[in-house]
Amino acid sequence: MLFPDYRPRRLRQNENFRRMIKETHLSVNDLIMPFFVVNGKKIKRPISSMPGQFHLSIDQLIEQASLAYSMGIAAIIIFGIPGKKDPFGSQAFAKDGIIQRAIAEIKQKLPELIVITDVCLCEYTDHGHCGIVENQAIDNDATLDLLAKTALSHAKAGADMVAPSDMMDGRVTEIRGALDENNFSHIPIMAYSAKYCSAFYGPFREAANSAPRFGDRQTYQMDPANSREAIREASMDVEEGADIIMVKPALAYLDIISRIRDEFDLPVAAYQVSGEYAMIKAADQLGWLDGQRAMIESLLSIKRAGSDMILTYFAMDAAKAINK
Paired strand residues for 248: 195
69 vs 316: CA distance, rounded Å:
9
Q: Is the peptide bond before 4 cis (omega within 30 degrees of 0)?
A: yes
303 in active site: no
Question: CA dist 311 to 16, 67, 121, 145, 318, Å?
Answer: 30, 17, 20, 27, 12
Over the window 229 to 268, marking each residue x when it contacts ligand PBG by CB under 6 A and - when it does not, the resulting string is ----------------------------------------
* Closest to 259 in 3D by CA, of 188, 316, 307: 307
Q: Does 220 bind ligand PBG (CB under 6 A)?
A: no
Phi-psi category of 42—alpha, beta or left, where left has phi over 0 and alpha has psi -120 to 50? left
195 in active site: yes
Give how far the C-alpha of residue 213 lies from the chain's centroid of Cα atoms, to the nearest Å: 23
263 vs 65: CA distance, rounded Å:
34
Q: Is the peptide bond before 249 cis (omega within 30 degrees of 0)?
A: yes
Nearer Cβ to ligand PBG (106/278): 278
Measured from each CB, the residue nearest to ligand PBG is 204
Q: Does 81 bind ligand PBG (CB under 6 A)?
A: no
Nearer Cβ to ligand PBG (101/205): 205
Stretch near ligand PBG under the rule CB under 6 A, chosen from 63-71, 95-103, 115-123, 250-258: 115-123
Q: Does 78 bind ligand PBG (CB under 6 A)?
A: no
Nearer Cβ to ligand PBG (171/261): 171
* Closest to 238 in 3D by CA, of 266, 204, 276, 213: 266
Q: Euclidean distance between the first and final Cα of the chain, in Å? A: 39
Q: Does 315 bind ligand PBG (CB under 6 A)?
A: no
Which residue is catalytic, options 84, 149, 156, 248?
248
Which residue is catalytic, options 41, 84, 107, 195?
195
Residues 118-177 that bind ligand PBG (CB under 6 A): 118, 120, 122, 130, 165
Q: Does 205 bind ligand PBG (CB under 6 A)?
A: yes
Contact residue for ligand PBG among 133, 273, 305, 319 (CB under 6 A): 273
Which residues form the catalytic set? 195, 248
Positions in the binding site for ligand PBG (CB under 6 A): 118, 120, 122, 130, 165, 201, 204-205, 273-274
